[in-house]
Structure formats: structure tokens, C-alpha cells
Amino acid sequence: MNTTLLLCVVFGMGFIVSLFMYRALFINPRNSRPVPENQVPGQWKADVEKLRAAADNRLSRDDATPEAIAEETGIGLRSVKKLFSRYLGGSVRLYMVRSRLEIAKERLRSSNATEDTIAQSCGFRNSVELRKLFRKYYRIAPAKYRLEQQVG
């Protein structure tokens, strides 16, 4: 009886430990960063540059999918996903969000355009999506960021 209870506890603890290890290995989108260009292995540099250019061309469009980028670059879909994950800091969607947010951040700093105008020009559906993602990644509202940049 005690052995059965002990096995259940050990199995349960093993499951909990495995769960914590899985969570520790999970990449937080805010923490995963692209590999610097000078650290991309030589055999992948050309493909990574093609992918970056194709994705950057689609920043203001809705068709920024792995499939569309694979078709445009002539690189297989599986390789597109692998290269984005390994060298560009995550999925295609995550790369697009980060790039759009960087552009929005610059426009908030340098122009007096409304959030809605900036959101549309950066490829977001609307200003609500821009505000939600801006808060998630930068932990500050776009309007507050703009105020701090103008004062500072």
C-alpha cells in the first residue's frame, strides 16, 4: 500500500517537474530575439536575407504568411518556418509584429499623426490592435510613449 502511494507521488512529481521544464524551455515572444546577421552561418545567409526582404515587403499587407513568403522566395515552406524560428527570432507572425511595432514606435516618436493613421500605415487592422500589441511588447501605451518621447 505504501509503495503504491509512493509510486503515485513520484509519478506525480515527475509530471510536475516535466511541466516546469517544458515551461522553462518555452520561448517567451518578448525574450526571443533574432540572431545578429554576422552570426548566421554562411550556407543560410542568402536564404535568411531573401526571407527578411520578402517579409519586409509585406509589412503593410495582410498576406504575410509563411506560404506566401515561401512562394515568393522559392524556399520550401518547412525551411521558411525553420529559418524564421532559428535566425529571425520566431514565427513569421512574430517577426511581422515586431517589425510593425518598431515602425509604429518610430512614427509615434517622429510624427503627429493619429494612432489610427499610424496603425493603418504600419499594417495593423486598427488602432485597437496597435495599442494592445504595443502594451504587450513595450509595457506602455502608445499615447504615453509618445508623451514621454516629446517631454524627454
Q: What angle do CA 41, 67, 93 make, to 5 degrees?
A: 70
Amino acid at 42: G
Return d(Cα 89, Cα 129) in angstroms, integer.
21
pLDDT value at residue 32? 63
pLDDT tens digits, one per residue of 77-101: 999 999 999 999 899 999 999 999 9
Return d(Cα 28, Cα 137) in angstroms, integer.
11
Return d(Cα 54, Cα 80) in angstroms, integer.
11
pLDDT tens digits, one per residue of 104-118: 999 999 999 999 999
Which cell is 23 given? 515551461
Give the confidence band of 44 by pLDDT, cuts at 50, 70, 90.
confident
CATH number for 96-151 (one of 3.20.20.70, 1.10.10.60, 3.40.50.300, 1.10.1060.10): it is 1.10.10.60
Show me where the domains of the chain are located: 42-90, 96-151
